[in-house]
Amino acid sequence: MNVQFKKGVLELCVLALTAKADRYGYELVHRLSETLEIAEGTVYPILRRLTKEGLFTTYLAESSEGPPRKYYHLTTKGEQYLADQVREWREFYTSVNQVIEEDASP
């Protein structure tokens, strides 16, 4: 998996998954690993940063299978930011595909 492709997009994926339901870090790592290869050391800094920026609130919940989980909940500000990012992402990959296809089949 091309590491460079992921830049900035992982943040978008974390936001998107958390919009569907509150998530905890470990869960996000494993969910995202199914399709995109992603490391723990990548996810936690993103969560910290986005929480600091007010896009997430957090709360702890006990688990029967290990230490308590820190859940992340998307704020209203987070939802707006996510919507913007999704729009930008769509514009972006459409542009890239135009450049590629322009070339692949002229």
DSSP code per residue over 2-13:
-TGGGTTHHHHH
Which range in 39-47, 50-58, 62-70, 94-102 contacts its own copies by CB under 8 A?
Answer: 94-102
Which range in 40-48, 50-58, 59-67, 89-97 contacts its own copies by CB under 8 A?
Answer: 89-97
Is the dihedral angle over the CA atoms 90, 94, 96, 100 positive or is it negative?
positive
Could you give the strand order of the β-sheet that contains 23-24, starting from the edge strand earlier in sequence?
23-24, 66-74, 56-63
Strands (E), the chain: 23-24, 56-63, 66-74
Please check whether residue 11 is in contact with residue 53, taking contact to mean a CB–CB distance below 8 angstroms.
no
Site for its own copies in 15-74 (CB under 8 A): 16-17, 19-20, 32, 35-36
Size of interface with its own copies, in residues (CB under 8 A) = 35
3 binds its own copies (CB under 8 A): yes
4 binds DNA (CB under 7 A): yes
- Interface residue list for DNA (CB under 7 A): 1, 3-4, 6-11, 24-27, 37-42, 44-49, 63-71
